[in-house]
Chain A
Amino acid sequence: MKSNIKQKVDKLIEDYPAKVFKNRKDHIIVKDKNTEAAITANTRTIPGIMTNRGCCYAGCKGVVLGPLRDAVVLTHGPIGCGYYTWGTRRNKGRTDEDEKNLLAYCFSTDLQESDIVFGGEKKLRQAVKEAIEIFNPKALFICSTCPVGLIGDDINAVAREAEKEYGITVTAFSCEGYKGVSQSGGHHIANNGLIKNVIGKGDKEFGKYSVNVLGEYNIGGDGWEVERILKIIGYEVVSVMTGNGTVRDLENAHKATLNIVQCHRSINYIGEMMKKKYGQDWIKVNFIGIDSTIKALRDIAKYFGDENLINKTELVIAEELEDIREDMEIYKKILNGKTAALFVGGSRAHHYQHVLKDLGMETILAGYEFAHRDDYEGREVLSNIKADADSKNIEEITVEKDVDNYKVFLSKERYEKLKDEISLNYYAGLIKEMKDGSVVVDDLNHYETEEFLKILKPDVFCSGIKDKYVAHKAGIFSKQLHSYDYSGPYATFRGAVNFARDIAMGISTPAWSYVTPPWKISPSIIGTVRGND
């Protein structure tokens, strides 16, 4: 089977033009536990290839800053970029009392030709003034788009002046679309800005058992589900970055004891910088899937080492499991033995393998759109990754220890004991957990998608909106794992049931049985006499 798949993969890429072949062959591997295969990732997509990737702006404004409820996120550029990120990431956010919730708004300077010619700073200054006068937000973030970087508008100067004049946090993010090779550069730029200008500003104190949830964007209400469980067990959630998040909460994030990281790719920079600056450890968790949620909850409890928390954790796990047992049995019967291909994000292609496994499904292909090698192979490869021209264009900031706020929770002995047990400050990546013979593809593109669907014939293809209907036309159910097809939550125990229900529904909806017209299925019945059967 394994060699068979390998041959088919080889054949698939051999059909590429020479240069494309040379590039793509290092982005695709067939898992073989006897060899340590390295994958190429976070490199340029070849021009002309129909990639699923987006841009730096999408990662900064669309992913990391977009979900913050109490900030005006102002797009500085022509109208499109702001328009396309208006509400499209499903940034769910509930308004607190007398709080300003700005999630349903889209703010843009809508640059016109004259602004491109004569500079857009004046218009930006005016837009900032108007936004603050009308909305009086907690903070204002300026995100620049491609042409702004080229015409040289000094958005940092505008931000500095505005902060002085209006007395609120105003931060500029130079996240022009062309920077880096995908959304990933934008995550990094957003992380840098939040560390420099937001996190650490607050002075609210929290108890010992307090956490930040990093890299949780509350798609479909996932973050709410995670918070619900953490709170029942007895944790204080200081901030969620950034789903249903607020600048107000982020300012106090340095006061939490532990950072738990859901999406490693988009936010590991903040995790690492907070460790250096404030002494907070981070642990990688995965709340997608039942077994993985149980592991995450136990790891967190172990970190704090409090007997009551550990016992409460087991109690909550038992209760939640009992709640979903019957439903899960129903869906397992439908889904057991089915196969899935996953192409999504910088984390989800890993996370969702767990919930699929819970349902008896096998992941036969997995790949990320914008991940780096550490997301595939684990953080141990970080020191081997050479920075190229594109990654050097993304600012790498260094932080200093904040003496007043630096706190270490674990004693040295305890740290040593727990380090490996709960993988402190470490992420193992996706490949280690994949089965032999399964395929791993980085930056999967349209041609490869089409071919892999033919070769592997998965029962479900989990990807995004751009591929969804390609799979449907080919007769394969496709589930969007960026937006969940507007369903959710999929996180934790209850989320697993929602996910199972949606996948079962998609696979078994009667429509699939009508794809071939009856007259094309059994032409031989023509001429037979009715009543004989």
Chain B
Amino acid sequence: MLDCTPKEYKDRKGLTINPAKTCQPVGAMYAALGIHKCLPHSHGSQGCCAYHRKFLTRHFRDPVVASTSSFTEGASVFGGGSNLKTSIKNIFEIYNPDVIAVHTTCLSETIGDDIPTYIMQSKIPEGKLVIHANTPSYQGSHMTGFSNMVKGMVRYISKNSGVANNKVNLIPGFVNPADMREVKRLTKLMKQDFIMFPDTSGVLDAPLSGKYEMYPKGGAKVSDIEDAGNSKLTLALGKFASADGAYELENKCKVLPEILKTPIGISATDRFITALKDISGNEVPYEIEEERGQLVDIMVDNHYHYHGKKVAIFGDPDLVIALTEFVISLGMIPKYVLTGTPGDTFTKEVNQMHENAGIDGKVKALGDLFTLHQWIKNESVDLLIGSTHGKYIAKAEDIPFVRIGFPILDRGVHSYMPIVGYKGAMRIIELISNALLDRQDREAADEDLELIM
């Protein structure tokens, strides 16, 4: 496996090998699915839409609906205006969504299609909406695309009507529906009214009932996204995916932004709960303190399974930053930390964590898995954490592997199990411990196989 990867590391200037990111539009498509009765629309060649639907479908094992402008060579030369206008007409007549959320592709961006003008020139049925986000694939990553679509939602939908609603906006970031559910559960326990958008719970984890619903029950309602302009604060969970949406709300509607880490692990969840406490003025209820106490109990009782182990973490910056902080709090050593998404703030933040914890590690943004593999070849780790593509390295170097992030294409159920909040932290500890202990069991000599661990 990966036998052609040499140990000797050389800087590359032109070639990316085994990327740790993908392009903007898939993030935009995912975000758009978090609006109730919304059909994401990919303005470009058919292939983009097909690829994005495939990846999201494989990750969630649920239907992912989206349409495409089906560019041909003619549209690429003369502009995609007529394709978009035809699309909008057909989509409303055939698929009848409440909202069409258009995102661009590298193709339509390169030819410079003016989406707002095309939307203005389109016939949009009464009560229906078409929004858009520019998501050129040659900038940023799928995280940027998610962020841009959230910004688009604010720009097109949110309004400050002057009547305060006493709510808090929650922008959950590029996380699974289960994580969104968990963030909502904790907020409800804090007795704080909220508006979450986007919200893919109930959309990409819909029940099987024997009747297919193209637009399942879930998703943020347009009226709620509109009302987000009247909230007292926006909590943006994860800087890369959510901060820009929060700033947009501040600019447009004067809603104060507060940027937090994705609440993965004990400290990040503590900060999330503290923020909710401060905003709501409510005390933290016993249920939450009980969960936190259980987590601390687990961390103490199980520390010897993972304390001191070296781990390599890769994936999306918001998740990776939070995970790095969490594994440090577990006594682990995040030796290599890498994201494919560009961003100096990622490197700075993780370097700071390394420094504070006295860890001699490597950190890279805009990195690829070929680099990560070469680092590991030079000095190995005890555990690898990341999305499915890490399995090649895990196999090549025989390293236990915990799947966290996007996309996970080779295991099911993960999207139903939260990794955020105290409960999510417990689950991560279970995943990490089991991966390490399974390996110990598998490799133990008969006389060393421990019944009790």
CB contact under 8 A between A80 and B57, given known A44-B70, A55-B50: no
In the bound complex, CA of A180 to CA of B73 (Å): 7
Bound: A59/B53 CA distance, A: 17
Contacting residues of chain B (85-129) with chain A, CB-CB under 8 angstroms: 86-91, 93-95, 105-107, 109-111
Q: In whole angstroms, what is the CA distance A54 to B50 when docked? A: 6
- A131 adjacent to chain B (CB < 8 Å): yes
Q: A34-42, A101-109, A238-246, A398-406: which lies at the B interface? A: A101-109
The 8 Å CB contact of B211, one of A48, A135, A466, A474, is: A474
Chain A hits for B94, CB < 8 A: 16-17, 20, 48-49, 447
* A468 contacts chain B at the CB level, 8 A cutoff: yes
C-alpha gap A52/B65 in the complex (Å): 11
The answer to whether A150 and B110 touch across the interface, beta carbons within 8 angstroms, is yes
B3 contacts across to A, CB distance below 8 A:
95, 100-101
Q: Judge whether B208 and A473 touch: CB under 8 Å.
A: yes
Given contacts A112-B138, A125-B14, A390-B73, A106 and B19 within 8 Å (CB-CB): yes
Nearest chain-B residue to A136 (Cβ)? B4
Contact B53 A79 (CB under 8 A): no
Known contacts A106-B18, A145-B106, A150-B110; is-contact A81 B47 (Cβ 8 Å): yes
Question: Pick the contact of B22 from A79, A113, A125 — CB < 8 Å?
Answer: A79
- The listed residue with most B CB atoms (<10 A of its CB), out of A48, A88, A111, A176, is A48
Which chain B residues border A256 with CB–CB below 8 Å?
Answer: none
Tell whether, in the assembled complex, residue A48 and residue B87 are in contact, meaning their CB atoms are under 8 Å apart.
Answer: yes
Partner of B75, one of A16, A178, A472: A178
> Shortest CB–CB separation between residue B104 and chain A, in angstroms?
12
Is B84 part of the binding interface, using a Cβ–Cβ cutoff of 8 Å?
Answer: yes
- Which of B6, B71, B95, B137 has the most chain A CB atoms closer than 10 A to its own CB? B137
- Residue in B closest to A151 when the chains form the complex, CB atoms: B110
Decide: B45 and A55 in contact? CB cutoff 8 A: yes
Q: Judging by beta carbons under 8 Å apart, are B48 and A80 in contact?
A: yes
8 Å CB contact of B110 from A147, A471, A473, A475:
A147
CB-CB under 8 A for A130 and B26, given A54-B51, A146-B45, A447-B95: no
Which residues from B are CB-within-8-Å of A516?
210
Contact B73 A105 (CB under 8 A): no
Chain B CB within 10 Å, residue with most, of A50, A74, A470: A50
Chain B residues with Cβ below 8 Å from A146 are 44-45, 71, 76, 105-107, 110
A473 touches B51 (CB 8 A): no
Contact B68 A51 (CB under 8 A): yes
Within the assembled complex, what's the spacing in Å between the Cα atoms of A101 and B14?
A: 22
Chain A residues closer than 8 Å to B55, beta-carbon distance: 84
Q: Which single residue of chain B is at the shortest CB-CB distance from A84? A: B51
User: A51 with B22: in contact, given A84-B54, A450-B214 (CB under 8 Å)?
Assistant: no
Q: How far is the CA of A28 from the CA of B50 in the complex (A)?
A: 22
Per-position 1/0 for B43-67, Cβ under 8 A of A? 0111110110111011001111111
Task: Give the residues in chain B near A147, CB-CB below 8 Å.
Answer: 106-107, 109-110, 138
Contacts of B106 in A (CB 8 A): 77-78, 80, 111, 116, 145-147
Nearest CB in chain B: distance from A311 CB, A: 43
Query: Would you give the shortest CB distance from B359 to chain A, in whole angstroms?
Result: 29
Cα(A131)–Cα(B370), bound, Å: 12
Alpha-carbon separation in the docked complex, A80 to B141 (Å): 9
A82: Cβ under 8 A from any B Cβ: yes
A112 to B141, CA, bound (A): 11
Shortest beta-carbon distance from B42 to chain A in Å: 11
The complex places the Cα of A147 from the Cα of B208 at a distance, in Å, of 40
Give the complex CA separation of A41 and B15 in angstroms. Answer: 39
Interfacial chain B residues near A79, Cβ < 8 Å = 16, 19, 21-23, 137, 141, 340
Q: Which of B12, B46, B93 is the one whose CB lies under 8 Å from A51?
A: B46
A3 to B340, CA, bound (A): 57
Q: Does A272 make an interface contact (CB < 8 A)? A: no
Interface status of B392 (Cβ within 8 A of chain A)? yes
Residue of B with least CB distance to A112: B138
Tell me, in angstroms, the Cα distance from A100 to B71 when the chains sit together. Answer: 37
Given contacts A83-B19, A146-B107, A473-B63, contact A47 B4 (CB under 8 A): no
- Given the complex of chains A and B, what is the CA–CA distance between A45 and B83 in angstroms? 11
Q: Does A127 contact B (CB under 8 A)?
A: yes
Q: Is the CB of A181 within 8 A of B72?
A: yes
**With A47-B68, A474-B212: A389-B74 Cβ-Cβ less than 8 Å:** yes
Chain B minimum-CB-distance residue to A100: B4
Interface: B279 (CB within 8 A): no
Q: Does B17 contact A (CB under 8 A)?
A: yes
Q: Could you tell me the distance between the alpha carbons of A78 and B51 in the complex, rounded to whole angstroms?
A: 14
Query: Is A78 a contact of B137 with CB atoms below 8 Å?
Result: yes
Residues of A within 8 A of B70 (CB): 44-49, 51
Could you give, for residues 1-17 of chain B, a 1 whenever the CB lies within 8 Å of some chain A CB and a 0 otherwise? 11110100010111111
Asked whether B45 lies within 8 Å of A177 as measured between CB atoms, the reply is: yes
Indicate if A32 sits at the interface (CB-CB under 8 A). no
Chain B residues whose CB sits within 8 angstroms of the CB of A100 once the complex forms = 3-4
Any B CB within 8 A of the CB of A230: no
Task: Say yes or no: is A515 at the interface (Cβ < 8 Å to chain B).
Answer: yes
Decide if A163 is an interface residue (CB 8 Å cutoff): no
Q: Are A135 and B14 in contact (CB under 8 A)?
A: no
B54 pairs with A465, CB closer than 8 A: yes
Whether A84 and B22, one on each chain, are in contact in the complex, defined by CB atoms closer than 8 angstroms, is yes
Cβ of A491: which chain B residues have Cβ within 8 Å of it? none
> Nearest-CB distance from B110 to chain A (Å)?
4
Is B14 touching A109 in the complex (CB atoms < 8 A)?
Answer: yes
By the criterion CB–CB under 8 Å, are B83 and A47 in contact? yes
Residues of B contacting A127 with CB < 8 Å?
14-15
B69 within 8 A of A: yes
| Inter-chain contacts of B105 with A (CB < 8 A) | 146
Verify A178–B72 contact, CB threshold 8 A.
yes
User: Which among B15, B73, B111 is the interface contact of A131 at CB below 8 angstroms?
Assistant: B15
Expressed in whole angstroms, the Cα–Cα distance for A465 and B61 within the complex equals: 9
Using CB atoms, name the residue of chain B closest to A80.
B23
> Is B136 in contact with chain A by the CB < 8 A criterion?
yes
**A378 near B: Cβ within 8 Å?**
no
Q: Collect the chain B residues with CB atoms within 8 Å of residue A45's CB.
A: 46, 70
Any chain B CB within 8 A of the CB of A149?
Answer: yes
CB contacts (< 8 Å) of A145 on chain B: these are 106
Enumerate chain B residues within 8 angstroms of A109, measured Cβ to Cβ. Answer: 14-16
Contact with B along A1-23 (1 / 0, CB 8 A): 00000000000000011001000
Binary interface encoding of chain A residues 452-475 relative to chain B, with 1 for a CB under 8 A from any of its CBs, else 0: 010000000000111011111111
In the complex the two chains form, is A52's CB within 8 Å of B17's CB? no
Q: Is the CB of A48 within 8 A of B22?
A: no
Chain B 407-418 interface 0/1 with A at a Cβ cutoff of 8 Å (1 = within): 000000000000
B14 touching A78, Cβ below 8 Å: no
Given contacts A49-B90, A450-B214, contact A468 B76 (CB under 8 A): no
Q: Given the complex, which residues of A lie within 8 Å of B71, measured CB to CB? A: 146, 177-178
Interface status of B25 (Cβ within 8 A of chain A): yes
B213 at the interface (CB under 8 A from A): yes
Residues of A within 8 A of B (CB): 16-17, 20, 44-58, 74, 77-84, 86-88, 95, 100-102, 104-113, 115-116, 122-131, 134-135, 145-147, 149-151, 176-182, 389-390, 393, 446-447, 450, 453, 464-466, 468-475, 515-516
Given A48-B87, A130-B14, 4 other A-B residues pairs in contact with their CB atoms under 8 A: A79-B137, A107-B16, A113-B139, A127-B14
The 10 closest A-B pairs by CB, nearest first: A55-B47, A126-B14, A80-B23, A48-B87, A48-B90, A127-B14, A177-B45, A78-B137, A146-B107, A84-B51
A-B contact pairs, 17 of them (CB 8 A): A17-B93, A20-B90, A48-B91, A50-B66, A51-B46, A51-B68, A54-B51, A79-B137, A84-B22, A84-B54, A88-B54, A104-B392, A127-B15, A147-B109, A177-B45, A464-B54, A473-B211
Give the A-binding residues of B (Cβ under 8 A). 1-4, 6, 10, 12-19, 21-23, 25-26, 41, 44-48, 50-51, 53-55, 57-58, 61-76, 83-84, 86-91, 93-95, 105-107, 109-111, 136-139, 141, 206, 208-214, 340, 370, 389, 392
